[in-house]
């Protein structure tokens, strides 16, 4: 009389073989279907166009101009702050935020890079910035 472990092992092996056989059958049937191949080509073409679209957006001249202006204002703010003129430094950092439009991300960076007193001055200016330019 065979051991129950042997019987269960054989059943598990047979089940695994049957499952793998079904997977191979289904995969061949799917790849042989002309509609599947057409959909796959369309999907790949769409992904390629999407990737190419991202590349052109990265070098969009209008966005690049805004980025350059943002960086220039941040540099000027840093220069004025290094000279000890906090008022002019905050003014240029404020201008950078105006160019950027969405102040949340740059503010996170400025919180860690600006002295606390200067950052507080900037925070006081933010409501005024976006009220006058909205």
Band of residue 1 on the pLDDT scale cut at 50, 70, 90: low
Q: Cβ contacts of residue 30 below 8 Å, gap of 6+?
A: 36
Tens digit of each residue's pLDDT (9 = 90 or more) over 50-67:
877 654 455 565 667 888
Question: What span, in angstroms and rounded, lies between the C-alpha atoms of 101 and 75?
Answer: 18
pTM (2 d.p.): 0.49
What per-residue confidence (pLDDT) applies to 133? 46
Q: Which tokens is 134 given?
A: 């909205």
Residue 21, pLDDT score: 93
Q: Which residues contact 123 (CB under 8 A, 6 or more apart)?
A: none
- pLDDT of 61 reads 59
Instruction: Report how far residue 41's alpha carbon sits from residue 43's, in angstroms, rounded to the nearest whole number.
Output: 5
Alpha-carbon distances, residue 32 vs 21, 37, 80, 130 (angstroms): 17, 8, 68, 59
What is the pLDDT, as a whole number, of residue 20? Answer: 93
Alpha helices in 1-134 (DSSP H): 4-32, 34-58, 61-82, 86-100, 104-113, 116-132
- Under the banding of pLDDT at 50, 70 and 90, the label for residue 3 is confident
Any idea which of 37-41, 43-47, 74-78, 97-101 has the lowest mean pLDDT?
A: 97-101
Closest listed residue to residue 128, CA positions, set 95, 105, 89, 106? 95
């Amino acid at each position: 009389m065979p051991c129950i472990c042997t019987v269960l092992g054989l059943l598990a092996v047979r089940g695994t073989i049957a499952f793998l056989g079904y997977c191979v059958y289904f995969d061949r049937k799917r790849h042989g279907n002309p509609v599947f191949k057409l959909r796959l080509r369309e999907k790949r073409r769409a992904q390629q166009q999407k990737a190419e679209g991202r590349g052109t957006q990265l070098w969009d001249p209008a966005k690049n101009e805004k980025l350059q202006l943002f960086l220039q204002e941040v540099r000027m703010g840093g220069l004025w702050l290094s000279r000890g003129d906090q008022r002019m430094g905050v003014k240029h950092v404020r201008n950078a935020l105006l160019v950027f439009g969405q102040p949340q991300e740059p503010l996170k960076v400025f919180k860690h890079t600006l002295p606390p007193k200067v950052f507080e001055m900037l925070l006081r200016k933010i409501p005024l910035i976006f009220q006058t330019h909205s």
